[in-house]
């Protein structure tokens, strides 16, 4: 908790979810607004309404301004729950050896390159990590024996994680497959275990639909695609390209690239993040799992597989399935935050299967190698001490306006405007990656409607530099021009120019 707190206070890359222009969408929904109140730039919020609410609700509902400690506490909770998995590690040996085990696990968790480097990149992914860790805790707490209540509760927690973001499916599927694979193969009551597995599956579908269906129905009624803008190659909403909207830019290009990930991550050349990072824990875990897998295979052939710690076996299979799904369908490192946290616990648990005389030097070696090689990603959005609190505490310059962001990303400009303001971006989206919010795109009618909606403070544009011909052409499309009412605003990131827009017709 202290590590996260001081990292957040001394200047860290800030949570991008609190800077993007989805927030205006949630604020309106928080106040009872619906789809027609959502700005074009915030339509993706509908895929994960719960998490957008979680990210901003403390600020809009309770007036909290100490953003640094709020972020620190969220991450501390995720860290604490993840490390709590160690509760199920049969720690033997002397007090010194037990202390070493816990210290190494905590160290490997806190210094995970992605979560520690930018505090996990978003409330979204870290909130999901907390829920996934909680689901694993509940599953292990119930033991490897039939427990129908455990199956129902875990299904609910995993469904809640999936309702936050579709990328949680990697871990939800991996959890279900791994846990019940171990349970069914090691319990004497296989019939009961299979019935619990079926109940878990049915409850997962039910809870996921119950949590997501109201939003999906609303989005379908407005766009023709309940998953908008995802899977639009199937639903073909006229508001988006007929593509899947999946972010495929970081997928492995070849099979060799696929399987070389532990090595490329260890040397800092893995193409899974917008900023370089190095994390040798994946290579360490890969080596350990290959050795452990060989030993497990020999034990299985000798009929002594029951001697293997079931919790460790579950976590190992869980991690492997989740990793394969993530590497196949996403490979975006920030979507694998829980895998980063789980990796530390897994390494320690696998090492604990060694005799203590081998475990101690093994853990020290792992910690030493990781310390010498880890490199946190730097995204160039670092905030000075107190910057987070300052951004959230200052009153907005304009309270109720329609705001055009001239470039993407400029999400931190949201803090300059009040909660009633709405936002759009003028740039056309990259096909298959972004929404097309250009002047001739499918949302131009909605933009025009919002421009003429008589916002109390009018229409504004946020500029980084002198307006380009494209910007001026965009404004002309909507009969707008830049007025003389402009001001320079110093933000923690850069100086922006805010200009009021006027109708060219007067």
Model confidence at 28, in pLDDT bands (50, 70, 90)?
A: very low
* Structure tokens given for 186: 């090691």
pLDDT at 150: 93
Separation CA 361–CA 424 (nearest Å): 56
- Mean of pLDDT over the chain: 73
Model confidence at 326, in pLDDT bands (50, 70, 90)?
A: very high
**Residue 505 — φ and ψ, nearest 5°?**
-80, -5
* Structure tokens given for 160: 């809640």
**Nearest CA to 107 among 344, 349, 268, 372?**
344
Res. 316: pLDDT tops 60: yes
Cβ proximity of 198 and 191 under 8 Å: no
Model confidence at 37, in pLDDT bands (50, 70, 90)?
A: very low
Res. 88: pLDDT tops 80: no
pLDDT at 496: 86
Greater model confidence, 314 or 94: 314
Res. 90: pLDDT tops 90: no
Cβ-based neighbour number of residue 264 at 10 Å: 17
Model confidence at 57, in pLDDT bands (50, 70, 90)?
A: very low
pLDDT at 321: 95
Looking at mean pLDDT, say which of 20-24, 214-218, 364-368 comes out highest: 364-368
Cβ proximity of 108 and 366 under 8 Å: yes
**Nearest CA to 126 among 83, 170, 88, 71?**
71
Separation CA 42–CA 505 (nearest Å): 29
**Residue 292 — φ and ψ, nearest 5°?**
-65, -40
Looking at mean pLDDT, say which of 128-142, 320-334, 428-442 comes out highest: 320-334
Res. 257: pLDDT tops 60: yes
* Structure tokens given for 169: 């499916």
pLDDT at 325: 94
Model confidence at 128, in pLDDT bands (50, 70, 90)?
A: confident
């Amino acid at each position: 908790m202290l590590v996260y707190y001081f990292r957040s206070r001394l200047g860290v890359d800030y949570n991008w979810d609190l800077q993007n222009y989805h927030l205006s969408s949630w604020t309106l929904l928080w106040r009872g607004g619906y789809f027609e109140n959502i700005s074009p730039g915030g339509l993706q919020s509908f895929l994960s309404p719960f998490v957008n609410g979680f990210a901003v609700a403390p600020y809009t509902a309770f007036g909290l301004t100490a953003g640094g400690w709020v972020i620190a506490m969220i991450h501390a909770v995720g860290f604490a729950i993840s490390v709590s998995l160690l509760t199920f590690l049969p720690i033997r040996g002397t007090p010194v050896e037990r202390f070493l085990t816990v210290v190494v696990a905590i160290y490997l968790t806190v210094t995970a390159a992605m979560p520690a480097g930018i505090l996990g990149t978003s409330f979204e992914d870290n909130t999901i990590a907390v829920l996934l860790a909680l689901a694993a805790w509940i599953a292990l707490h119930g033991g490897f024996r039939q427990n129908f209540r455990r199956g129902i509760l875990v299904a609910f927690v995993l469904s809640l994680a999936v309702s936050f973001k579709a990328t949680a499916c990697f871990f939800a599927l991996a959890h279900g497959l791994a846990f019940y694979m171990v349970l069914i193969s090691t319990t004497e009551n296989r019939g009961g275990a299979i019935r619990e597995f079926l109940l878990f599956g049915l409850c997962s579908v039910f809870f996921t639909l119950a949590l997501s269906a109201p939003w999906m129905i609303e989005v379908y009624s407005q766009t023709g695609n309940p998953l908008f803008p995802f899977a639009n190659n199937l639903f073909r909403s006229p508001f988006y390209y007929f593509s899947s909207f999946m972010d495929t830019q970081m997928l492995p290009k070849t099979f060799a690239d696929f399987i070389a990930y532990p090595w490329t991550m260890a040397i800092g050349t893995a193409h899974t993040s917008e900023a370089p990072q190095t994390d040798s824990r994946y290579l360490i875990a890969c080596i350990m799992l290959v050795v452990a897998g060989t030993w497990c295979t020999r034990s299985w052939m000798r009929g002594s597989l029951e001697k293997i710690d079931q919790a460790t076996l579950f976590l190992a299979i869980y991690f492997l399935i989740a990793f394969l799904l993530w590497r196949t369908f996403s490979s975006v490192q920030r979507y694998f935050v829980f895998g980063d946290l789980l990796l530390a616990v897994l390494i320690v648990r696998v090492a604990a299967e060694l005799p203590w005389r081998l475990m101690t030097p093994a853990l020290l070696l792992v910690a030493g190698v990781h310390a010498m090689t880890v490199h946190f990603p730097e995204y160039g959005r670092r905030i000075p001490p107190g910057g987070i609190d300052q951004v959230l505490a200052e009153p907005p310059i304009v309270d109720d306006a329609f705001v055009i962001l001239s470039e993407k990303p400029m999400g931190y400009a949201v803090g300059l405007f009040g909660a009633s303001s709405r936002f759009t971006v003028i740039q056309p989206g990259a096909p298959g990656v972004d929404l097309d919010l250009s002047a001739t795109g499918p949302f131009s009618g909605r933009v025009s409607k919002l421009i003429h909606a008589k916002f109390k403070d009018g229409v504004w544009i946020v500029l980084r530099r002198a307006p380009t011909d494209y910007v001026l052409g965009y404004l002309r499309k909507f009969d707008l021009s830049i007025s003389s009412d402009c001001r320079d605003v110093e933000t923690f990131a850069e100086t922006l120019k805010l200009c009021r827009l006027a109708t060219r017709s007067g």
